[in-house]
Structure 1
Amino acid sequence: MNEQLTVINERVDDIPLLVAHLEHMGVPALLDKHFPTHGNWQGLSLGMAATLWLSHILSEADHRLNHVQPWAEKRLTTLQGCTAQPVRALDFSDDRLGDVAHALGSDQQWAAFEGELNQHLLRVYDLGPEHVRVDGTTASGYWQVTPDGLFQLGHSKDHRPDLPQVKVMLSTLDPLGMPLATDVVAGHRADDPLYIPAISRVRESLRRRGLLYVGDCKMAALETRAFVHAGQDYYLCPLAQSQLPPEELQAYLTPVWTGEQALTGVYREDKAGKRQCIAEGYERQETLTAVVTGQTITWTERRLVMRSLARARAGAAALRERLAKAQADIVALNARRRGKKRFPAVAPLRQAAEAIVAKYGLQGLLALSYQEVVQERPVRRYRDRPASVRVERSVQVSVVVDEAALSAAVRRLGWRVYASDAPVARLTLDQAVSAYRHEYIIDRGMSRLKGHPLSLTPMYLQREDHAVGLIRLLSIGLRVLTLLEFVVRQRLAAEGGKLTGLYAGNPKRATAQPTAELLLEAFQELTLTVIQESGQTRRYLTPLSGLQKRILALLDFPPDVYTRLGPVFAQSP
């Protein structure tokens, strides 16, 4: 009798690493603790189901619920080996994942979970929080707008004002960019009033004071600054025109231009190891008064009047480019060509020229003058019409750059005023420049959240509670990426080593700053082969490469994370 031979190949890839990392972070256990399920729940626990769902999202860069069950069906042996639990494809049905998202949408339970998760991560990874960065973003989708719903039309940071959106406020820990608090609100809400609730959640979660909160100019509302100061924390943010009118900024800069105020340079080493001045500025103080929870407080605020030299150079180049384009467009108004009417009077020509000036934002920098041009053109006799002289009148415009105004405009470029209540011992001028220039960290996190690999947008969920739950699940995924990256970079720095083999097409390229995406990509193409014959099951796993073993060692994971999947010889029951 011929025995049937069954061979199953499963793509393992980075799944065991992701599951091990999530378990080390305590995610499955904490989810089960804070989101208990009812007695009829069968199969994987909510915490483990969410963990494997998140592993799918990170591995496949796809958050769609209906893609998870087919993915799991092709990897049941791998998933069982990673979790040491029975795993069914039904554990990842649309309904089951919808239940997970619905549970994560509970505000009270999520706040308790997020707080304990933060405390656990700070302890396990020995993170000393000092700087917290707060910012918001939007996620658009094809939803139906309802009067009091979550999905609303508003100012879109995705440049899609025609689509409903939700707004996400992220509070992250520098320099990792690891989320500490995630708030999901209606898409039409303004950013300014969202900072105080976000900061309050961080305080409740970390239970620490003396942190420096860094944000953009939308965090600079007096109410927000007063709230941070009253809570014994510090803030650093640039002031917008609503907090610092142009005439007040002019008063800050006049002493600099007259030579009465000396500037302090901020220096950094370039790639060649040379010290380069990247910014210059000075500091002054202002006394502020505000009301916080019914109490009037007064404090001294440091105003850091800074000029970014690179920003000033780029601004000057862009300004001169706009001037050249505007001059060319204005001169073109005088051109005579077929099908183009000439301006018969000054008024319409002035209107057209001033529209060009406004288009390029060059008011006050260009001097326009208008001249009437009279031309006499002889007309030959034709039949009964005698010869004559035709007089044609038209107007032309001349344009010159106001060099004095241009010099003054260039002199103002690159300046920005930052506000902080942190003492100099806590935040020097140099440190303030560095702290704010790290804003790219949270921007990168938002790019990961909305794009690859967390793939929030476009969002395909229609229920509001499911959308909130998904965003919160993805915030855990962002923690996975930031911590994975942080640990490997920290270990490499301690060893003074680098990783090679991460870059396709350039295997000898070495880096001491690998990204989490590259680290996970290094585990692609690992395959588990399951052979069933004569009542026996054999498993074979693609051997780990030296690079893969090195990454596991840097993360302090044993090779057993993978090798426990195979080779295995097991007798069927």
Structure 2
Amino acid sequence: MTTPRSFELRTEILGPLPVLNHFLDRVGLAGLLERHLPDDDRRLRLAPATVIGVVVRNLVVGHRPVYALGEWAAPYGPGLLGLDAGDASALNDDRVGRMLDRLFDADRATLVTEVVLGVVRQFGVELSQLHNDSTTVTFSGNYRAATGRPRGGQATPAITYGHNKDHRPDLKQLLWVLTVSADGAVPIAFRVADGNTADDVTHIPTWDELRALVGRPDFLYVADCKLANRQAMDHIAVNGGRFVTVLPRSRKEDAEFRDWLWGHDPDWTQAHRRAGRRHGDPDEVWHTTPARSPSAEGYRIIWVRSSTKIDRDAEARRARIAKGITALDDLNGRLASPKTRIRTVVAVETAATAALDAAGAARWVGFTVTEITEETYRQEKRGRPGGNTRYRRLTRSHHRVAWQVNEDVVARDAASDGCFPLITNDTAIAPAEVLAAYRYQPNLERRNHMLKGPQEVAPVYLQTPHRIEALLLCQFLALLTEAIIEREIRATMKTAELNSIPLYPELRSCPAPSAPRVLEIFNGVARHHLIDHGHVVQVFEPTLTPLQHQVLELLGIPADSYTASPTGTTKP
């Protein structure tokens, strides 16, 4: 009797890991992690550098929490993760947590510096212009032990309340400070500060760190308005640095120029023009003009006027005025009710002022309160009224708010619509170059969006602050890897004169590919093994689509990276 053959098909997911590994190998991340996280304990089942490497790959590709790391790694070929057969089951949260302990205790500053300098050398990243910004990492929970108490002589971050940029003042936070290069928005430095740290005090230590990293002080440092304080600007200028930032609306220089614009027409010079975002939209134009006098610190001020910001400012003012008028109309409805508790002129004025302040319209909408007295008559006694019936006069007072739009103030403010001041200590740079430097800042903000969006930095499923800081270092490494993937494919497209590639669903064109989308198109790519009684009968290599081949070619990755089994792959 013939025994029926028993076939088994085993699937080994490849996904985007060959693409990711190509760039991690170029960075030399594995070797750097092994040097800073030596495998010097024979009791360890997995090397610390291997575990941290898996964490970084998961942050880029899987976005799974630490406790689910083993579950995420199991379907992949272990060789793609630097693992051996069966190692994925050892990636439990306790082991990963202990590896994060080792990462925190290591010389993290040197590790980050070596990684960044390796990226700069390998990919030729230009460091002449750097952009800095901060955001908050929000936590759910009390974190009573996260008070900043040192661990092993190293400070730990204090998770506490502060100015939350996620609009959750009820939750505790840490401050994440990120610096990127203007060459592809590649992250080159990051810092984690206590949750109640003000942004303005972060710039001096950040700039000092960047000066040591770059090796010279003359790079252009671009940041938001929190840089515009005397201590930070003077520190950069005295030490040979250059900066560009925007002057806050609270500065006297801002108010003086806006007042002067009412009745004056400065000599605006076109600095930049680009086509409208949609077909039929007018061109977006930026003009510049020098300020009439330097700042209080003696630095150069350049005023910018944006055509699109003119429309936005006018629409925002119109919306606030309309909201304020609606609020006063609603207040009149409340005042007309016989049950109203607002019965004095002072109380009405207070309520009207609060309504306009809430709408942000107090500057343009004024009001007057009038008291209206109504008289009514009522019989003193019950019964049918007659010629001798006596009546009692009753008086009732109520109030009404009459509003008026201050047209003079509206016209004065409209004269400076679309204008904002930039401040710099560089007297040689052209105004158009100052504007171009500042206009690159949103690229940095998109990196912070990637941290909170695709990488899902929150919620953080860890309790101890030192492990959280180590995990944020892994987040930085993941962010850096995604940035160089984007930079590489966009640079190759520019060299090949490709305006776009069909990367979006339904093969719609994409002019600026993002790393998440580039990696996403490789989801589902897998290798299959046909097994018979424990022996491999046949291996079915993945078949790549034309789009996947095109992306691999643009990234400089050979197609056989998806057909050659990496070292360490599981034996069936």
TM-score after normalising by structure 1: 0.87
Q: Secondary structure at the match of 1:502?
A: strand
Q: How far apart are 1:84 and its partner, in Å?
A: 8.7
Query: Residues 168-567 of structure 1 correspond to what in structure 2 (within 5 A)?
Result: 168-240=176-248, 244-245=251-252, 248-259=253-264, 261-271=266-276, 276-283=284-291, 286=294, 301-335=299-333, 340-341=339-340, 344-379=343-378, 382-383=382-383, 386-387=390-391, 390-424=394-428, 427-452=429-454, 454-498=455-499, 500-504=501-505, 506-507=506-507, 509-537=508-536, 538-565=538-565
Aligned letter for 2:475? Answer: L
Contact 1:53–1:92 under 8 Å retained in 2: no
Task: Report the CA distance shift for 1:87/1:439 in structure 2 as closer, same or farther (over 3 A).
Answer: farther
Q: How far apart are 1:258 and its partner, in Å?
A: 3.7
Contact 1:44–1:87 under 8 Å retained in 2: no
My pick for the range that moved more, 363-372 or 394-403, is 363-372
Aligned partner of 1:9 in structure 2 is 11
> What are structure 1's unaligned runs of at least 5 residues?
290-299
Aligned letter for 1:411? Answer: A
The CA RMSD measured in Å over matched residues stands at: 2.9
Q: How far apart are 1:491 and its partner, in Å?
A: 0.5
Inter-partner Cα distance in structure 2 for 1:439 and 1:34 = 33
Aligned partner of 1:126 in structure 2 is 124
Task: Report the CA distance shift for 1:11/1:330 in structure 2 as closer, same or farther (over 3 A).
Answer: same
Contact 1:118–1:206 under 8 Å retained in 2: no
Q: How far apart are 1:343 and its partner, in Å?
A: 5.8
Q: How far apart are 1:203 and its partner, in Å?
A: 2.0
Task: Report the CA distance shift for 1:100/1:571 in structure 2 as closer, same or farther (over 3 A).
Answer: closer
Give per-residue Cα distances to partners, 1:78-97, cap 9 Å, x unaligned: 22256496662255232332
Give per-residue Cα distances to partners, 1:58-78, cap 9 Å, x unaligned: 22222x122111222332xx2
Inter-partner Cα distance in structure 1 for 2:331 and 2:103 = 62
Aligned letter for 1:15? Answer: L
Q: How far apart are 1:481 and its partner, in Å?
A: 0.9
Q: How far apart are 1:511 and its partner, in Å?
A: 2.4
Q: Secondary structure at the match of 1:303?
A: strand
Inter-partner Cα distance in structure 2 for 1:360 and 1:334 = 16
Report how many residues are paired. Answer: 548
Inter-partner Cα distance in structure 2 for 1:284 and 1:29 = 56
Inter-partner Cα distance in structure 1 for 2:143 and 2:273 = 50
Query: Residues 28-47 of structure 1 correspond to what in structure 2 (within 5 A)?
Result: 28-40=30-42, 42=44, 45-47=47-49
Contact 2:284–2:307 under 8 Å retained in 1: no
Task: Report the CA distance shift for 1:571/1:132 in structure 2 as closer, same or farther (over 3 A).
Answer: closer
My pick for the range that moved more, 221-230 or 277-286, is 277-286
Q: How far apart are 1:391 and its partner, in Å?
A: 4.2
User: Share of identical aligned residues, percent?
Assistant: 22
Greater relative contact order (Cα < 8 A, sep 6+): 2
Contact 1:450–1:456 under 8 Å retained in 2: yes
Contact 1:49–1:92 under 8 Å retained in 2: yes
My pick for the range that moved more, 184-193 or 248-257, is 248-257
Task: Report the CA distance shift for 1:101/1:143 in structure 2 as closer, same or farther (over 3 A).
Answer: farther
Task: Report the CA distance shift for 1:399/1:68 in structure 2 as closer, same or farther (over 3 A).
Answer: same
Aligned letter for 2:99? Answer: V
Give per-residue Cα distances to partners, 1:357-404, cap 9 Å, x unaligned: 222233353332333334344546842753465444433332211211
Aligned letter for 1:496? Answer: E
Inter-partner Cα distance in structure 1 for 2:450 and 2:553 = 25
Aligned partner of 2:152 in structure 1 is none
Q: How far apart are 1:56 and its partner, in Å?
A: 2.2
Q: Secondary structure at the match of 2:30?
A: helix
Query: Residues 162-173 of structure 1 correspond to what in structure 2 (within 5 A)?
Result: 162-173=170-181
Contact 1:49–1:91 under 8 Å retained in 2: no
TM-score after normalising by structure 2: 0.87
Inter-partner Cα distance in structure 2 for 1:432 and 1:87 = 56
